[in-house]
Structure 1
Amino acid sequence: MLRGKVLSFGEILLRVCPDMSQDWISQGNLPFYIGGAELNVATALALWDIPSSYVSAMPKNAICEEIAQHLQQKGVDMEGMFWKGDRIGIYYLPKGKDVKNAGVVYDRANSSFSELKPSDFDWDLVFNDVCWLHFSAICPAVNAEIAQLCLVAVQEAKARGIFVSLDLNYRSKLWKYGKDPLEIMPEIAAYCDLIMGNIWAAQRMLGTSLQPNFQETKATYPTEELLEQSLQTSKEIRNRFPRCRYVANTFRFDYEQAGIKYFTSLYTEQDGLLVSNEYLSENIVDKVGSGDCFMAGLIYGLYHEHDASYTLEFATVAAYDKLFISSDATVSTVSDIKKRLKK
């Protein structure tokens, strides 16, 4: 088993969720959740008894201090928080929608996180007792300074022998500072040990090849063909980025009449392409955070040195389970997930 903390780095956000099927304005009903891709991972790991710390930035005020206290009570180490700037990031997502949906509205300009610079960090202090660094491609999408900060962070992590994981979250509405992901992400990915995403995000952000018949994310693709593409994408990533030891892909398709289908894959040089069981459901509760929970499950399994097959299935069940939880981060314990695994 690894020793040390898993450090998650990213922007802490408020997700505001109007229910567009109701008159939410007149009712004054506007639910919100504390989240952010990396924080969702950190929260899950803390719940699963893995030493979990989180680095972000928030303004110094009573609201943000209560948020930090809330997260500390959940077991997340918040000692690395930067207290600076004037505002926390917000995004609006109608109930039931996905963050990749056109309906998402971002309100993150000039947030405390967006103003961080590499010179703000004492890397020896940041990485003290840290064995794993996790972040997502949402970070370098914020602005050029944060992209540079991510590059420096992974370089400093690798110089200290720290395992690095990257989630290839692609958010087209965030890449607005004149750079294409292909100009930024490959250089960062070169320092990563675990890269997770899907075949479409990998093409968009790392330039991997994609068969012409997979140009859109449709639910009608044969599973066998998707897995062949997953194998091709995974091999390309391993060949282009020799430091990368694990490549994971998720497949989640929404069927208008029949609900949702979910399965995943994990590629390693030793095991080849491992494929999870397939999970189906007619109804789900919340799409947000499922991918983050999958990443947390991978980290959990690898941290405890479980074999790759068990790690993949644990992560997949955790992610599928998250689809039935109304919040950004999972509330299911390891015991809850293992019960689903047995079924």
Structure 2
Amino acid sequence: MAGRIVCFGELLLRLTAPGRELLMQTGALDVHVGGAEANVGIGLANLGHDVAMVSAVPDNPLGQAAIRFVRGQGVDTRNVQLRDGRMGLYFLSVGAGLRASDIVYDRAASSFATAPADAFDWAAILDGAAMLHLSGITPALGHATAQAALAAARAAKELGVAVSFDGNYRARLWDAWDSDPRAILTELVGLADTMFGNHRDVSLLLGKTFSGDGADRRREAAEAAFAAFPNLQRIASTARHVDDADSHRIAARVDTRERGYQTDEVVVAGIVDRIGGGDAFAAGILHGVLSGQDLEA
């Protein structure tokens, strides 16, 4: 496989109400380690890639358990720092029927969110790497993490390391502080070679809307993004139609500067857990990019 992939983002604990219970009803919670960037890294490691995780967790049993889990999936965790603070959490009520899943974040003042912007030596971390992967969640957590994400992407460009960026826009996180998401995300996308996002993400970045529907609208948005961001080489996205919590219709799309590629819509029935589905998609696309696979395949 191509060289090492470095993933930068927060390791979280996900606490889920079992079955289809609501958080206000349940007397127990199932615990899983997650985080968007870690999910992508684990997916790539399972596909045979050399992956390293960069993050920060508290030096307590929760943080140590998160490190052990990620390391157990074949991901290098030497750059996951142990710092003061707490473990970032989020709570999930799984959807049922026409009721959508619901997430409650509890990640303020986490070890990752409070780490100084200069806590990571990017020149050393990215030395010899093939790709840096990060998402819009990290800069949404606060000023320090926004500056750290920008520093990582800038260092990658200076070192000739490809940058993958997943928009993952989280309005609730951006709204929690005096942020300027458009300015920050625009710079990050400007440094990216690969972007994960749809026409709505491009609308946020460029301050414009796109007419039409379906594939035509996504192509129009992609062409606008390519014109605005000369470094950007490809944009990948999914189109999801939710029939109910157990059945979705999904199509995948990749746009390059030359043309767009879109799959037929497939029905995914009997859904067990949809959290992380976009991260699995990102891992699959990056695997194809790093392996030199043909987009027609």
- Length-normalised TM-score, structure 1: 0.80
Q: Is 1:154 aligned to 2:142, yes or no?
A: no
1:290 partner amino acid: G
User: Residue 238 of structure 2 aligns with which residue?
Assistant: 250
Change (3 A) 1:26 1:106: closer
1:181 partner amino acid: P
Question: What is the CA-CA distance between 1:55 and the residue it aligns to?
Answer: 0.5
User: Residue 329 of structure 1 aligns with which residue?
Assistant: none
User: Residue 207 of structure 1 aligns with which residue?
Assistant: 207
Counterpart-to-counterpart distance in 2, 1:114 and 1:153: 15
User: Residue 188 of structure 1 aligns with which residue?
Assistant: 188
SS at match of 2:191: coil
Larger displacement relative to structure 2 (199-208 or 30-39)? 199-208
1:268 partner amino acid: T
User: Residue 281 of structure 1 aligns with which residue?
Assistant: 268
1:307 partner amino acid: D
Counterpart-to-counterpart distance in 1, 2:249 and 2:25: 36
Counterpart-to-counterpart distance in 2, 1:114 and 1:41: 20
Pick from 215, 222, 229: which aligns with 2:217?
229
2:119 partner amino acid: D
Please give the per-residue CA displacement for 1:13-49, whole angstroms capped at 9, x wherever unaligned.
1111114844877863211211010000011111111
Are 2:21 and 2:94, in contact at CA under 8 Å, matched by a contact in 1?
no
Counterpart-to-counterpart distance in 2, 1:144 and 1:309: 41
Question: What is the CA-CA distance between 1:306 and the residue it aligns to?
Answer: 0.7
1:249 partner amino acid: S
1:50 partner amino acid: H
Change (3 A) 1:59 1:199: same
Pick from 271, 276, 281: which aligns with 1:294?
281
Are 2:11 and 2:66, in contact at CA under 8 Å, matched by a contact in 1?
no
Larger displacement relative to structure 2 (254-263 or 31-40)? 254-263
Are 1:168 and 1:202, in contact at CA under 8 Å, matched by a contact in 2?
no
* RMSD between superposed Cα atoms in Å: 2.2
Percent of pairs with identical residues: 31
Q: Which has the higher strand share?
A: 2
Please give the per-residue CA displacement for 1:118-170, whole angstroms capped at 9, x wherever unaligned.
32122221112211000110111101121111111111100000000000111
1:148 partner amino acid: Q
Please give the per-residue CA displacement for 1:316-336, whole angstroms capped at 9, x wherever unaligned.
xxxxxxxxxxxxxxxxxxxxx
User: Residue 83 of structure 1 aligns with which residue?
Assistant: 82
Counterpart-to-counterpart distance in 2, 1:85 and 1:285: 35
SS at match of 1:284: coil
User: Residue 197 of structure 1 aligns with which residue?
Assistant: 197
Are 2:12 and 2:87, in contact at CA under 8 Å, matched by a contact in 1?
yes
Structure 1 unaligned segments of length 5 or more: list them: 214-224, 311-343
Counterpart-to-counterpart distance in 1, 2:29 and 2:88: 17
Counterpart-to-counterpart distance in 1, 2:140 and 2:26: 35
Counterpart-to-counterpart distance in 2, 1:118 and 1:173: 22
Structure 2 unaligned segments of length 5 or more: list them: none
2:65 partner amino acid: E
Are 1:90 and 1:108, in contact at CA under 8 Å, matched by a contact in 2?
yes
User: Residue 179 of structure 2 aligns with which residue?
Assistant: 179
- Length-normalised TM-score, structure 2: 0.92
Question: What is the CA-CA distance between 1:282 and the residue it aligns to?
Answer: 3.7
1:302 partner amino acid: V
User: Residue 73 of structure 2 aligns with which residue?
Assistant: 74
User: Residue 104 of structure 1 aligns with which residue?
Assistant: 103
Question: What is the CA-CA distance between 1:178 and the residue it aligns to?
Answer: 1.9
SS at match of 2:102: coil
Counterpart-to-counterpart distance in 1, 2:161 and 2:192: 10
1:294 partner amino acid: F
Counterpart-to-counterpart distance in 2, 1:59 and 1:256: 38
2:252 partner amino acid: T
